[in-house]
Amino acid sequence: MIAMKNKIVFALLCFVISGTPVVAEEINAQKLLEQVDDNLWANTKFITGRLIIDNGRKVRTLTQDSWMQGVDRSYSHYKSPAREKGTKMLKIGGKLWMYTPRTDRKILIAGHLLRQSMMGSDLSYEDMMEDHKLSHSYSAIFENFEDFASTRCAVLHLVARDKETTYQTRKVWISPENQRVLKEERFAKSGKLLKRIVFKDYERIGSRQFPRTMIFRDMLKENTKTTYKFDVIEFDVEIPAKYFSQSILKR
């Protein structure tokens, strides 16, 4: 009887010890990241969305239409509130122009200014405008499995391929089943957690699954969050060339 029990314990131990690497090997971190990119990333995108900025004392909602083309070009037009209505942002390459109707002037936001908080939100201009493939900028390493939002997720540790990438490391929680990113954390070089992004309300749009809600939190600030809600998303749309011309930055 005792011998039988020992055999069962031994068999269970073997299963546990040998089981984990088998599961780990099943996850090809880089491939999974590429799949995520393929799902989220498109050559052109049109988004109508709301940016809900909660600074802990006051909540402001900005509505905007955005058109994006590749990683270099994007154009946003803010529709509300009254204070921001008519504000336009045009990103071409590493430069961002902002037009405000109240001053009727366009301002170039370049270089280090891109790293400042955008309209008091938890996102920098750089965060807001970035739309690059994670699999291109980062090398992915599978860490472990974790449950998040009742979903079993593969946790990938991303390490930047070059020294100039803003966040040198990131961590992403991806459901391997449907390649949905559910959470992302962005770290400083020292490893300090800077930003946490939660992706919610996934919906199928054409052949893709896209989160309708993204919640950004600046982890160095207290009680602040910025929720980006996508009301309309269209992929691979045709965008008129005038949208990426500085001539659009006027009333």
Contacts with other proteins, residue ranges (CB under 8 A) = 111-113, 115, 117, 160, 162-168, 188-190, 192, 194, 220-222
Residue placing its CB nearer to other proteins in the complex, 147 or 222: 222
Residue placing its CB nearer to other proteins in the complex, 129 or 233: 129
Residue placing its CB nearer to other proteins in the complex, 105 or 115: 115
CA pair distance 212, 233, nearest whole angstrom: 9
CB of 94 to other proteins, least distance (A): 10
CB of 109 to other proteins, least distance (A): 9
Say how many Å lie between the first and final Cα of the chain, rounded: 87
CB of 224 to other proteins, least distance (A): 9
Residue placing its CB nearer to other proteins in the complex, 56 or 70: 56
CA pair distance 237, 54, nearest whole angstrom: 32
CB of 148 to other proteins, least distance (A): 24
Residue placing its CB nearer to other proteins in the complex, 7 or 95: 95
Report the b/e string of 209-243 with b at 16+ CB within 10 A. Answer: bbbbbbbbbbeeeeebbbbbbbeebebeeebeeeb
CA pair distance 12, 2, nearest whole angstrom: 15
CB of 77 to other proteins, least distance (A): 25
CB of 35 to other proteins, least distance (A): 27
Residue placing its CB nearer to other proteins in the complex, 115 or 136: 115
CA pair distance 89, 5, nearest whole angstrom: 70
Cα dist from 124 to 10, 78, 113, 166, 250, whole Å: 54, 16, 9, 11, 24
What's the 3-state SS for 39-74? HHCCCEEEEEEEEEEECCCCEEEEEEEEEEECCCEE
